Structure 1
Amino acid sequence: MTHTDPFLALSARTGRFSHGSPRAVTISSDGARLLLLRSTGPEDPVERLWLLDTADGAERLVADPVALVPGRTGAVAELPAPERRLRERLRLWAPGIGSFAATADCSVAVFALDGRLFRTETEGTETDRAETTELPVAGPAFDPRPAPDGQRVAYVAGGELYVTPGPEPLSPRDGALWGVAEFAAAEELGRTRGHWWSPDGTALLAARVDESALPLRHFADPAHPEVAPESFAYPQAGGPNADVQLWVLGLDGRRVQLRWDDAAFPYVTAAGWEGDGEILLTVADRLQQAVVLLTADPATGATRELSRTEDEFWVDPLPGTPLRLPDGRVLTAADSPAARGLALDGKILDHERIQVRRVVGTHLGRVLLETGEGDPYHQHVDLLDPDTGALERLSEGPGVHGATAAGGTLLLTSATPDGIRRTLHREGAALPLADRAAALPYRVVPALARVTEHRLPTAVVYPRGHVPGTRLPVLLDVYGGPGYQAVAGEPRRWQLKQWWADRGFAVVTTDNRGTPHVSPEFTRAIFRRFSRVALDDQVAALHALAADHPDLDLARVGVRGWSYGGYFAALAVLRRPDVFHAASAGAPPTDFRLYDTAYTERYLGLPQDNPDGYLADCLIPDAPSLTRPLLLIHGLADDNVHPSHTLLLSEALRRAGRPHTVLPLPGVSHMTPDGGTEQIAALELEFLRNALGATPSM
């Protein structure tokens, strides 16, 4: 679709204002240089690999996919299935080099492009120019990883693990998948890789994944009936999971299986080498109420417990933990009802004023943290002294601040209403990291408030030039589910909301209980039931906001959302038509009995143990109650929320004689790449204007 709206056209051309921004930053172990991915400018979608000297900020292009594969730039839809699915799990949709792996000194980087394997020597050998070589592979290559010395490369092809230059797989041909992360790990548990080199380069730790017990999900593209359907194994709630083992595969042919109680702890959430003689792995039980850090002997496969975290609800993952410090002590999450905290060797570190969001790692002998404090809208960067408990704030001012560090070099990223800046700090000097993204068209400062007795974070965005006293239809732009905070100070997420406001809406966003970064107690309010708390909180927040914002016309309230937000949008008009008058529901999981194990069971338990909770959260039985306009949107190539979710609800609505609209998106995945978000927004606007009578303000 060609956009006639200037903002939507600009957003589509610039990749939602992300083209040209650096990402996937990898700092060398000595801190002297770093590698990153970035396109050449705001309207160039193709991501290239760059090398930067942290002493003076000088940077060089070291791998250009346009030159390496002329005429092809790694467009996601045309990639081999494993690489395409990995990008989907990582939410990568720009073409070019989607991801890379490098040696610790950043002298060698490897990546896959269109199933071909490339190795880049970032400094070259004689001319001080980077040199990229294509390596022969046994089949379409996936997730390559260089050996510590950069001479060999491990990669996956056809479900087997190979090491260059060998023509035969290192893994046994036993019918299992080797070297990959299964769906549950990659989509829900934060582990997107399945093989790791030993520090001495003589062996690989590899995941063995047996999906034979899983049901298959099938995808056909109705727009291209000549193309055969695609299938993959999917772990459905209450059903079997993939059987995951970890093996040490020596280049000399030795094979050792790591042994733990995998019946009690089937999920491997993290793994890696701590040294040549030790492997660390983190495992979790099926309901994720217990998470255990294990040390393993790679010579024998024997494991021993180092730490255990348990919770009667679920153990909410804290990125970066468990973390073993250089002196051997182990840092773990330690939640109280009011705070996400830390414990060192089991001793709780008392910092009630902060909510730890991520443990970045160690920096200058201390622990680098991303934290919230007071207002969850903001995120800060702190250094924690593990011995004294003292905190040092590294970030300045409001906004969302994040960090990456290695070898004494710190990259501090600060997102504020004025934009995003990245600064390298090394040996007392500060250098800006170039960002070539388009300038954000709007400086959005939403009206923030904490409302109701639960102090729900809320935001209201008005049209620019809004005249107080002018009543506006309300658009609830919602997510509302676990794992995502919508009311946060990252400026790019407010651009589309301002566009919606300028089309004649007061745009309201609320983080109901169940969303993260307020407190563990706030998040766990949805235990064993999604719909009731989310719906009650969103309705209560609307009424509380209307008391302070008289221009909110609660007689005209629309709701839009995607994924869990799409579920909530459909839920809203089905169960509270007295409050919500129209809904646009994108990719909604309408029946969580059909969604995946690791996500759904963490919050709702097993369907066989909580049948009433699953039924109460299912939208299909509500179909006869629809009385409001409902637009259902779904990508037909969505392997996260299968399009059957929308089709089952649509079928139930048809059988009940309830008018509704369905917008199928052939070939589109859960991410809606290539301008899909903007195309959908234009169609939603027409639908919601007709339903609510919104009038453009500008």
Structure 2
Amino acid sequence: MTGWLFGLAATASIAAAQGTKSDYDRALSLEAKFAEQVTHDRVEPHWVSPTRFWYAANLGAGRREYWLVDAESGAQQVAFDHAALAGALAEATDRDRDPQRMKIDRIAPEGVDRLALRIDETWWDWDGDQLSQRDGAPVADEVQPMERSANEPSGPGGKPSPRSPDGRWRVEKRLGALVLVDTASGESFVKMAAPLRDGSYDARVAWSPDSTRFVAWENVPGGGRTVQLIESSPADELQPKLHEHQYDKPGDNLPWRRPHLFAVGDADETPLDETLWQNPWSAGDLRWKPDSSAFTFVFNQRGHQVVRLLQADAASGAVQTLIEESSPTFVHYSGEGKCWLYRIDDTDEALWTSERDGWNHLYLVDLTTGAVKRQLTRGPWVVRRVDHVDAEKREVSFRAGGVHADQDPYYEHHCRVSLDDPSVVTLTDGDGSHEAQWSPDGRWLIATYSRVDLAPVTELRRAGDGGLVVELQRGDTAALEAAGWRAPQRFVAKGRDGKTDIYGVVCRPTNFDPAKKYPVVEEHYAGPHASHCPKRFATLHRSQQFADLGFIVVQLDGMGTDHRGKAFHDVCWKNLVDGGFPDRIAWLRALAEHEPAIDLTRVGIRGTSAGGQTAMAALLHHGDFYKAAVSNCGCHDNRTDKVWWNEQWMGWPVGPHYAEQSNVTQAGKLRGDLLLIVGEMDRNVPPTATLQVVDALIKADKDFEFHFVPGAGHGAGGTYTDRRTWDFFVRKLHDVEPRREE
């Protein structure tokens, strides 16, 4: 009995020791304590020749050291004697100089032991002993990096313009009509009469390269839904203001752009066969073939289950499909690296990213037939983003996730593939997520990778085979750790199916005591458009401050989010209410088996926007597990939110599943403690989405808390909202009054 009483007393004491004023003070101090505490964490190369560059190494506290690197040999050395240069510079300028705080923005080697340096907008010559001022800059002090854009070349017919390529014709708008003008004779021809409805025409048209035809866009109006917001407390006057903006919602009649084909002179319009582009969501990305025989454009059918690259014959108006991406669920047309198109005019080919085999991969398509010439990448990993297309070398540089099977599949790696020999060359292998900077001639890349628990490591690699030349810098966290920083923990556990790995991170208080029990708060966002758990290093993730109030804070990506393949992603289809919760709960239970300090009887969740919607849904549908939730500016009902986001995942037309998954409809199922937050001037998600939840909760006689922020936009952020969120979880999960003195 005594032992049992002692255990109770100890538990009460532990609870009372969390969420105090000192916890709040410590949490709020972390940003300043951790700032600028990591050294050797970045390299910004300045190339002075195709094989040589310099950079400034970060020594912390505004201090730096300059280095020269020879990419061919991998040799790197300190660029000069910093103390000697500082002394010479101080003597020359009659001003003291700190050897580690000289700000040098140009270094140009001239010979073996001579440098030209630009310091404080003045050029100097330095040979290691003598410093002398120069009359001007060296002939060439930097080589500009190679442009590595994956955008299409702006060839003939690539950009819209009112004037034809040969300069003879001009398209104008006159009293709403579209008129073609012969600039030589002044003669004009009405091509499109003023629209009967409230539509309009674009005078910037897509001209054929030979100036004989053009495509004009008709802007077809939709229903024109507007949302009104009342600003209760404007800064410039006493009386409230009414604001309104266009805001289409699922199921609305939507505007779109219809292409029209014309020849110059007085010829009539050439009708385009619309059979393959019925029920449009959008049409665009129009481009003429170099020989002016046809043009292509991308058509996205409403419902987002069909995306086509269509080709229209300039003479007949006949339209055929060159590329089609279709899915019984959804085509993620808006995702980075998804449905990506690059036309190669010289060979009449196109590059296209597709998930047709279950993973986002690159395909080479013959645009004369529409046939796939070859699949360039394949395997259980995804192309994340295309960085560069070298049409002459017939190579594509891209980023991939999951290409190293033994690493976190969300880590981005840089790769290259040939259009003619589709064997992927993986250029990076460090265990972390990568960013790359390329040399001016593309022969070298400077790759920097990091993890939440690893400061940035920067390497020089060969772009040909990805071979490591030399490690340039490795981030040093010694000072950061001395300031009390605790690295987030990476944790992997099986999801709902018992087979699929789910990846997340865990933040513990900086004063974590493994003998204590801690409630858990999940930082939640499950928007299907991407993945959201942090992967890269930061001195302060937002979860850390929150953890220092006495919580273990977690963040993870469950099924239904992107970057893990089509089957993983498809879980969200017409099923946003799922939110990945079966994976999240399984992951948390697995974590608790490894971490005895976790108390799964006290689990909270917070999220904003789509995360606000599912944070509340956690209490509606999983109230046996989650005990408290903060829902900030939640979407709550997919029928009242923006059309483009919701129809992408919930489908079109609007069906009964929209209502069935609404937090408004399901409000009566609320279990646990809920704080709703909304900003009065939210233009992203109408504030009425939250107010309708409030109304439904009142009608269901449910207790909840509500924080309304006048004048605030989406997220309703700020120190007051943060403090209210912190206080709520301290009260509900620690069961103490927050911010009291210990």
TM-score normalised by length of structure 2? 0.62
Alpha-carbon separation, structure 2, partners of 1:260 and 1:217: 36
Which of the numbers 335, 359, 381 marks the counterpart of 1:339? Answer: 359
* 1:222 counterpart residue number: 232
| Residue 337 of structure 1: how far off its partner (Å) | 6.3
Query: Is 2:694 aligned against 1:650?
Result: yes
- Report if the CA contact (8 A) 1:413-1:422 is conserved: yes
- Report if the CA contact (8 A) 1:531-1:616 is conserved: no
| CA pair 423-679 structure 1, distance change in 2 beyond 3 A | farther
* 2:675 counterpart residue number: 631
| CA pair 353-618 structure 1, distance change in 2 beyond 3 A | closer
| Number of equivalences | 548
- Report if the CA contact (8 A) 2:27-2:548 is conserved: no
Alpha-carbon separation, structure 1, partners of 2:409 and 2:568: 12
Question: Secondary structure at the residue paired with 2:665?
Answer: helix
| Residue 678 of structure 1: how far off its partner (Å) | 5.2
The 5 Å alignment of 1:593-632 reads 593-606=639-652, 608=654, 610-611=655-656, 613-632=657-676
| Residue 533 of structure 1: how far off its partner (Å) | 6.0
- Report if the CA contact (8 A) 1:284-1:291 is conserved: yes
| Residue 269 of structure 1: how far off its partner (Å) | 6.5
Query: Is 2:326 aligned against 1:310?
Result: yes
Alpha-carbon separation, structure 2, partners of 1:58 and 1:567: 56
Which of the numbers 564, 568, 587 marks the counterpart of 1:522? Answer: 568
Alpha-carbon separation, structure 1, partners of 2:504 and 2:212: 54
* 2:489 counterpart residue number: 446
- Report if the CA contact (8 A) 2:427-2:463 is conserved: no
Question: Secondary structure at the residue paired with 1:606?
Answer: coil
| CA pair 292-664 structure 1, distance change in 2 beyond 3 A | same
- Report if the CA contact (8 A) 1:211-1:233 is conserved: no
Which of the numbers 348, 360, 366 marks the counterpart of 2:395? Answer: 366
| CA pair 619-582 structure 1, distance change in 2 beyond 3 A | same
Query: Is 2:733 aligned against 1:692?
Result: yes
Alpha-carbon separation, structure 2, partners of 1:386 and 1:372: 20
- Report if the CA contact (8 A) 1:582-1:692 is conserved: yes
- Tell me which moved more, 294-303 or 490-499: 294-303
Question: Secondary structure at the residue paired with 1:469?
Answer: coil
| CA pair 337-692 structure 1, distance change in 2 beyond 3 A | farther
| Residue 553 of structure 1: how far off its partner (Å) | 0.6
Query: Is 2:729 aligned against 1:683?
Result: no
Alpha-carbon separation, structure 2, partners of 1:583 and 1:574: 10
| Residue 554 of structure 1: how far off its partner (Å) | 0.7
* 1:561 counterpart residue number: 607
Query: Is 2:378 aligned against 1:351?
Result: yes
Question: Secondary structure at the residue paired with 1:376?
Answer: coil
| CA pair 431-538 structure 1, distance change in 2 beyond 3 A | closer
* 2:249 counterpart residue number: 236
* 2:304 counterpart residue number: 288
Alpha-carbon separation, structure 2, partners of 1:178 and 1:423: 52
Query: Is 2:515 aligned against 1:486?
Result: no
* 2:14 counterpart residue number: none
- Report if the CA contact (8 A) 2:561-2:569 is conserved: yes
Aligned AA (1:334):
S
| CA pair 361-579 structure 1, distance change in 2 beyond 3 A | same
| CA pair 401-105 structure 1, distance change in 2 beyond 3 A | closer
- Report if the CA contact (8 A) 2:376-2:417 is conserved: no
Structure 1: which 5+ runs fail to align?
A: 23-40, 43-51, 61-103, 107-143, 162-169, 181-193, 433-438
| CA pair 263-295 structure 1, distance change in 2 beyond 3 A | closer
Alpha-carbon separation, structure 2, partners of 1:226 and 1:249: 53
| CA pair 235-8 structure 1, distance change in 2 beyond 3 A | farther
1:13-70 deviation digits (Å, cap 9, x = unpaired): x9999xxx99xxxxxxxxxxxxxxxxxx99xxxxxxxxx999999999xxxxxxxxxx
Structure 2: which 5+ runs fail to align?
A: 1-23, 43-60, 63-104, 110-115, 120-145, 149-159, 166-170, 179-190, 366-371, 473-478
Alpha-carbon separation, structure 1, partners of 2:713 and 2:117: 38
Question: Secondary structure at the residue paired with 1:585?
Answer: strand
- Report if the CA contact (8 A) 1:587-1:641 is conserved: yes
Alpha-carbon separation, structure 1, partners of 2:413 and 2:647: 32
Superposed CA RMSD? 5.3
Alpha-carbon separation, structure 2, partners of 1:637 and 1:255: 49
The 5 Å alignment of 1:443-522 reads 444-452=487-495, 453=498, 454-492=500-538, 495-522=541-568
- Report if the CA contact (8 A) 2:677-2:708 is conserved: yes
Question: Secondary structure at the residue paired with 1:620?
Answer: coil
1:534-554 deviation digits (Å, cap 9, x = unpaired): 332322222222222222111
TM-score normalised by length of structure 1? 0.65
Alpha-carbon separation, structure 1, partners of 2:438 and 2:256: 35
1:337-373 deviation digits (Å, cap 9, x = unpaired): 6532232222434521531122233145311211111
- Report if the CA contact (8 A) 2:381-2:565 is conserved: no
Alpha-carbon separation, structure 2, partners of 1:372 and 1:218: 42
Aligned AA (1:395):
T
| CA pair 545-237 structure 1, distance change in 2 beyond 3 A | same
Alpha-carbon separation, structure 2, partners of 1:146 and 1:421: 50
Alpha-carbon separation, structure 1, partners of 2:733 and 2:257: 51
| CA pair 385-636 structure 1, distance change in 2 beyond 3 A | same
Alpha-carbon separation, structure 1, partners of 2:699 and 2:194: 49
| Residue 569 of structure 1: how far off its partner (Å) | 0.7
Alpha-carbon separation, structure 2, partners of 1:269 and 1:420: 42
| CA pair 105-567 structure 1, distance change in 2 beyond 3 A | closer
| CA pair 269-605 structure 1, distance change in 2 beyond 3 A | same
* 2:83 counterpart residue number: none
1:217-271 deviation digits (Å, cap 9, x = unpaired): 2122122374642223322212211132346899999998994637525133651
Question: Secondary structure at the residue paired with 2:644?
Answer: helix
| CA pair 260-550 structure 1, distance change in 2 beyond 3 A | farther
Alpha-carbon separation, structure 2, partners of 1:529 and 1:421: 40
* 2:20 counterpart residue number: none
* 2:422 counterpart residue number: 389
* 1:548 counterpart residue number: 594
- Report if the CA contact (8 A) 1:246-1:257 is conserved: no
- Report if the CA contact (8 A) 2:256-2:282 is conserved: no
Which of the numbers 273, 280, 299 marks the counterpart of 1:266? Answer: 280
1:450-493 deviation digits (Å, cap 9, x = unpaired): 32313222222222242323211100111123012122413359
| Residue 677 of structure 1: how far off its partner (Å) | 5.5
| CA pair 607-309 structure 1, distance change in 2 beyond 3 A | closer
Query: Is 2:450 aligned against 1:416?
Result: yes
Aligned AA (1:447):
R
| Residue 419 of structure 1: how far off its partner (Å) | 5.4
| CA pair 357-599 structure 1, distance change in 2 beyond 3 A | same
- Report if the CA contact (8 A) 1:340-1:356 is conserved: yes
| Percent of matched pairs sharing the same residue | 24
- Report if the CA contact (8 A) 2:257-2:283 is conserved: no
